Amino acid sequence: MLTKHKHWHTHAFDPFLRERADMPFVWGSNDCALFAADAILANTGTDIAEDFRGKYTTQLGALKTIREVTGGTSIADAAAYCANKHGLVEHTHPLLAKRGDLVVIDNSGTLIAGVVHLNGHDVVSVSETGLVRLPIADLNGKPNVVRAWSI
């Protein structure tokens, strides 16, 4: 398990989110996976995505890198690889995810990586126009988060 910096939520995570608020999605530098890893880096000082950085600049390249590094085919495989490599414990139920945790969320049929927002009710990830917040669960309480790891 990783250790968060003292006062991580106010001294690291909040400033990180403010800095990235309007930064658009870019494959290989500010995509959903690297955004989540960068948030964890800000909060802990550990880069969980070191095996992926600098290895792709397109969606096809990202998928190829996931396959080469993990043997898998999705962002969920990449997140699980990074989590396992760094000793992160997967939550027994995705709704147990808490602020700052690594998650994979179903965003209208597409799996994306993110981290639980400071409000504890949303996942924050990156879009073409900057950060987006997506609800952890739908209005009926069904989880949108499909996997989650404790940071």
Q: Which residue has the tokens 């917040």?
A: 133
Strand, helix or coil at 126?
strand
Q: What is the DSSP letter of 149?
A: E
Task: Kindly report, residue by residue over 83-97, the tens digit of the pLDDT.
Answer: 999 999 999 999 999
Q: What is the pLDDT of residue 1?
A: 77
Task: Kindly report, residue by residue over 36-49, the tens digit of the pLDDT.
Answer: 999 999 999 999 99
Strand, helix or coil at 59?
helix
What residues does each domain of the chain span?
A: 8-149
Q: What is the pTM of this model?
A: 0.96
Average pLDDT over residues 20-29: 98
Share above pLDDT 90 across residues of the chain, in percent, rounded to a whole number: 95
Residue (of 37, 54, 55) closest to 46 by Cα position: 37
